[in-house]
Amino acid sequence: MFLTTTDPTAVTEPLMDAESLKKLMDGFDPAALLPELDNMFGTLDTICRWAVMIGPVVLLVLGLCYLFLSPKEANYYFGYRTYFGMGSVNAWRFTQRIAGMIFTALGLVLTVVMLVIIGGFGAMEVSAMVYRAIWCLVWEAILAILATVSINSLAMYFFDRKGEYRRKPKK
């Protein structure tokens, strides 16, 4: 069956002939190595749904934390930290309230919109579902960046770097 040589100077011969290779591959089914397509596409559907919903839920939780659990004074460990929001207690509290309101509102809106979108995933083809999920993730990222820029801009608009009001609030 196998051809072997003990002479090291001999010309290299094939170690396995065609008949022995046929016998070895006789009971082999290459399709058995592939995963079942039903399981793979079912998993892909679940992954797309989870990926689309994680962003809005994280924004919602962060917003609620900034609203209700933020420290009373500026620190470097917890809270929404900006350069202009850490100068004074007033600037810190303002920044936490604004960040909480914006992130909570954005999280609520995105959660509702994404629930509607992923509700239609079951009727889609796999490629269309993945394409839609990627676009949802891109829009979530863009909106989160815009929210962050707006919070920083508001803190910069109302406070200077020392945390003092740029414009005195009217009493």
**pLDDT by residue for the chain (171 residues), tens digit each?**
555 556 565 555 556 677 777 777 787 777 676 666 556 656 788 888 999 999 999 999 999 999 998 888 888 888 888 888 888 888 889 999 999 999 999 999 999 999 999 998 888 888 888 899 999 999 999 999 999 999 999 999 999 888 888 876 666
Instruction: Record the pTM.
Output: 0.71
Neighbours of 18 (CB within 10 A): 8
Contacts (Cβ under 8 Å, ≥6 apart) of 78: 69, 70, 71
The C-alpha atoms of residue 104 and residue 81 are separated, in whole angstroms, by 17
> Is there a contact between 159 and 74 (Cβ–Cβ < 8 Å)?
no
At 165, give phi and psi (nearest 5°). -65, 135
According to the model, what pLDDT value does residue 124 have? Answer: 84
Give the ranges where the chain is alpha helix by DSSP (H).
Answer: 18-24, 37-68, 89-119, 126-158
